[in-house]
Chain A
Amino acid sequence: MQIEFKNLYFNYNNNSEFKVTVLKNINYLINKNNITAIVGKTGSGKSTLTELINYFLKPTSGQVITDGFISENSTKLKFKVVNKLRKKIGYLFQFSENQLFEDTVIKDVSFGVKNFYPKDDGYEQKSKEALRLVGLDESFDSRSPFDLSGGEKKRVAIAGVIAYKPDLLILDEPTAGLDAQGKKEIMDLFKKIHETGVQIILITHDMNVVLEYADEMIVLDNGSIQKYGSPKEILKENVEKYNLETPHIYKTINALKEKGIVLNNVTDIPSLVTELKKHG
């Protein structure tokens, strides 16, 4: 799905004395079926940018063009048009485990499918497929979502978003509040979903996740794009000035460099091992 930001500006509380400028002159084109990571410190406008994609917000000036749907300040959005777009986008919010409300897991997961495809009888089948994909077996189907653990609730929320088969998944800090194992499991799950042809936009503070999973990254700071490109190139340089953490692997390389061991071509742990072996 092609997403284009054209001279995009966004203010909160425009027309009042409490105006806050969040995005300044954003120009960017996401046109490949990639995992795109959007990073930046708290308040840099990451969530605002993704909410603009999904028509939750309207640009103050400029345009956001998502899959041919143009959003600008002057357009009056009709619900039917908005829903046509939202059908193609799965938006997983931060603390998505709080959005569950039905009395059984299967009903909650099929909620989105029923809303977007009211004439489709196959919603139960689709929901079951989504639940199996996120790793919850049949025994969960008829349980109440409120009896589940935090991690399981999150999986139900993910299933609820992927059940209607969106082309694009927007993930707002999906790994926040998870332990190391849970983080890896969830990110591997998203990778699996990505391999079925779903494009992903990922907001995160975890540079290790970005380095391992993302194909493309955008660094936001003070409302404008500071850097963009391949995570391997960007994270190698000093990113701490944008309040980002250098990934563990590059920290290791830098520490080794200080001891006089210079390694090139290292991007993950296996390549680190091979390079170290070469060094003797």
Chain B
Amino acid sequence: MDKYILGKYVPLNTFIHRLDPRMKILSMILLMVAIFMPFPSWTFTFVMSGFNALIIFVLMLISKVRLRDIIIQLRSIWFLLLVLMIINIFLPPNGSIHIIAQSGNFKLYAESFMQTGKVMLRLIEMFGVAMILTATTSPQELTFGFGWFIKPLKKIKFPVEEVSMTVSIALRFIPTLIEETNRIYKAQSSRGVDFKHGNLKMKFKGLIALIIPLFVSAFTMSDDLAFALEARGYNPKAERTSYRVLKWSTKDTIWIILITLFAAGIITISAMHLDLLRHFFPKIW
């Protein structure tokens, strides 16, 4: 199951694990905004990207998320990056001036590679932020956090509680379904199915042998769960208190202020449309 690291909760007890999920969700959004801010020159873009990466790397160290796990994620999207690079080579970004090679009418710009590199860096950073959130926050806490954010929607008669309940049940069943998938996978491969090699027809056949039993047991499980809920008098409309109560503490306040200041700083620099490097170190440029 090494492949499914993105979004997997790692039950440790680091400082970030103990923070409030609402604060973590909010700071993830802020950091994502900071990552995707545009800057006037290439050098400055990479310097700022590096600065973001440094902050995220420190957060990763604190929450014990390993860089290796993020690299594993990148392996699954290398094809996307390759396509992006080809598109960037044939359709160079606006204002490309640095030509590295030329053959006839076709010019190869350095900017094409810088653009790809920029997107790759941002993707790595985005993965990093997302993994810090999911690795340090259990699915239950996440649902609680999101449930809190959508609470105001109740005013416009949005079924907030039902949605939270559905989401938390769905999250609860992910490990169960993975287990079930594993069992059916093993059962079918013991009957000679080749899921990894073989031609397309064989793979398709294998997929059917996996998906149909999985759907059947998922339906059976949800049916059983619905009966179990009804048997215990579950009423989705009822007003209820929750067993787990989210507690906002001083350290959450301090952290959210720090993160907000950081994001605000990045946004301000970006909004100024000013190449600060050239501004402060004109000699080097």
Q: Which of A75-122 contact B (CB under 8 A)?
A: 79, 83, 86-87, 89-91, 93-96, 98-101, 111-112, 115-116
1/0 per position for A106-143, CB-CB distance to B under 8 A? 00000110011000000000000000000000000000
**Residue pair B192, A96 in contact (C-beta under 8 Å):** no
- The answer to whether B212 has its CB under 8 Å from any CB of chain A is yes
Q: Which of B37-59 contact A (CB under 8 A)?
A: none
Chain A residues with Cβ under 8 A from B183's Cβ? Answer: 93-95, 98
- Looking at the assembled complex, report how far the CB atom of A96 sits from the nearest CB atom of chain B, in whole angstroms: 7
- Looking at the assembled complex, report how far the CB atom of B170 sits from the nearest CB atom of chain A, in whole angstroms: 21
Give the interface residue-count category, chain A: 20 to 34
Q: Which residues of A contact B (CB under 8 A)?
A: 51, 54, 56, 79, 83, 86-87, 89-91, 93-96, 98-101, 111-112, 115-116, 146, 160-161, 164
**Residue pair B193, A98 in contact (C-beta under 8 Å):** no
For A79, A116, A146, A160, the residue with the greatest tally of chain B CB atoms inside 10 Å of its CB is A79
Q: Which of B246-268 contact A (CB under 8 A)?
A: none
- The answer to whether B161 has its CB under 8 Å from any CB of chain A is no
Chain B residues with Cβ under 8 A from A94's Cβ? Answer: 183
**Residue pair B191, A111 in contact (C-beta under 8 Å):** yes
5 A/B residue pairs, CB under 8 Å, sorted by A: A83-B194, A98-B180, A98-B184, A98-B217, A99-B188
**Residue pair B191, A161 in contact (C-beta under 8 Å):** yes
**Residue pair B190, A54 in contact (C-beta under 8 Å):** yes
Chain B residues with Cβ under 8 A from A90's Cβ? Answer: 190
User: Which of these, A86, A100, A116, contacts B213 with CB under 8 Å?
Assistant: A100
In angstroms, Cα B198 to Cα A99, docked, is 22
In angstroms, Cα B184 to Cα A146, docked, is 16
**Residue pair B216, A146 in contact (C-beta under 8 Å):** yes
In angstroms, Cα B246 to Cα A205, docked, is 43
- The answer to whether B209 has its CB under 8 Å from any CB of chain A is yes
**Residue pair B191, A112 in contact (C-beta under 8 Å):** yes
A-B contacts besides A79-B194, A99-B187, 10 pairs, CB < 8 Å = A56-B190, A79-B198, A86-B190, A98-B180, A98-B183, A98-B213, A99-B184, A101-B208, A115-B192, A116-B192
Chain A residue at minimal CB-CB distance from B183: A93
- The answer to whether B186 has its CB under 8 Å from any CB of chain A is yes
Chain A residues with Cβ under 8 A from B208's Cβ? Answer: 101
- The answer to whether B240 has its CB under 8 Å from any CB of chain A is no
Q: A-B pairs with the 7 shortest C-beta distances?
A: A115-B192, A112-B191, A101-B212, A91-B190, A99-B187, A116-B192, A93-B187
In angstroms, Cα B183 to Cα A99, docked, is 9
**Residue pair A98, B216 in contact (C-beta under 8 Å):** yes
- Looking at the assembled complex, report how far the CB atom of A70 sits from the nearest CB atom of chain B, in whole angstroms: 19
- The answer to whether B197 has its CB under 8 Å from any CB of chain A is yes
